[in-house]
């Protein structure tokens, strides 16, 4: 069994990490504004799939290869940065949706589409792999059954991230809803979130 004190430390660290603003938080808030609080969960679940993949990569030892290979790391890093910049530019240039049919179409984005975008937002971030490479060993005891420990760690990290993303970032976005009822407000929000996506993408590309 995982020690309770160690698990509490994991909960504390995982909570702090999830509250750190990043591409996932911006993506979640954008989804909440565009598709509604409830439907934003699909994007969040997609992000969790990416987190599971990152954890598996580290657990299998591939994370060491990525962190020690500048070429592989940079390929993934720049691909992730480019994707975020693309999302930002698309959001920035998006025209306000004042037509009722257009608004409904945007709110009814297929769950699969939101889910897939959530996967890519988190997956194309090699720093997450390197982070888990440094983070996970702190909560793993090599002399105890590893599978059980990884299951507990993964379940805990995912549960925390879902709660923080949905009940904090997605809910926080609801306070911006009043800006979505007119053209000027929508334009401002599109440009704010577009710039945030581009900023995170640029930071991902330039910060080592």
Query: How many domains in the chain?
Result: 1
d(CA 43, CA 27): 8
Q: Is residue 123 a part of any domain in this protein?
A: yes
Residue 191 lies in a domain: no
- Domain assignment present for 4: no
Is residue 155 situated within a structural domain?
A: yes
Domain that holds residue 148: 23-77+94-185
d(C-alpha 166, C-alpha 189), whole Å: 19
Q: Provide CB contacts within 8 A for 78, sequence distance 6+.
A: 205
Q: Please indicate, yes or no, if residue 208 is contained in any of the structural domains.
A: no
CA distance 61 to 32: 36
pLDDT above 90: percentage of residues in the chain = 27
Residue 31: inside a domain: yes
Q: Does 197 fall in a domain?
A: no
Rounded Cα–Cα distance for residues 67 and 50 (Å): 18
Residue 43: inside a domain, yes or no? yes
Secondary structure letter of residue 95 according to DSSP: P
Burial class (CB in 10 A: 0-12, 13-18, 19+), 190: buried
Q: What is the pTM of this model?
A: 0.77
Distance CA 39, CA 19 (A): 21
Question: What is the tens place of the pLDDT at every residue in 64-105?
Answer: 776 677 887 778 778 878 888 888 898 888 777 655 545 455
> pLDDT higher for 47 or 144?
47
Instruction: Note the pLDDT of residue 91.
Output: 83
Question: DSSP of 147-166, one letter per residue?
Answer: HHHHHHHHHHHHHHHHHHII
The string of pLDDT tens digits covering residues 114-165 is: 999 999 998 887 767 777 877 777 787 777 888 888 899 999 999 999 999 9
Comparing C-alpha atoms, which of 20, 197, 67 is closest to residue 121? 197
Q: Round the average pLDDT of the chain to a whole number and report it.
A: 82
Question: pLDDT: is 196 or 166 the higher one?
Answer: 166
């Amino acid at each position: 069994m995982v020690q309770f004190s160690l698990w509490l430390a994991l909960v504390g660290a995982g909570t702090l990490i999830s509250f750190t603003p990043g591409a996932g938080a911006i993506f979640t808030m954008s989804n909440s504004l565009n598709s509604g609080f409830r439907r934003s969960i699909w994007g969040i679940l997609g992000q969790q799939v990416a987190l599971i993949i990152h954890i598996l990569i580290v657990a299998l030892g591939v994370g060491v290869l990525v962190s020690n290979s500048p070429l592989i790391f940079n390929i993934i890093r720049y691909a992730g940065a480019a994707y975020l910049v693309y999302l930002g530019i698309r959001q920035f240039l998006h025209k306000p949706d004042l037509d009722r049919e257009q608004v409904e179409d945007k709110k009814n984005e297929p769950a699969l589409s939101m889910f897939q975008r959530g996967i890519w937002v988190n997956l194309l971030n090699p720093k997450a792999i390197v982070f888990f490479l440094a983070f996970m060993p702190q909560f793993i005891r090599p002399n105890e059954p590893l599978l059980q420990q990884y299951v507990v760690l993964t379940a805990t990290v995912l549960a925390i991230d879902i709660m923080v993303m949905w009940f904090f970032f997605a809910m926080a976005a609801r306070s911006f809803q009043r800006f979505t009822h007119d053209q000027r407000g929508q334009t401002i929000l599109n440009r704010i979130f577009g710039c945030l996506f581009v900023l995170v993408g640029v930071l991902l590309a330039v910060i080592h």
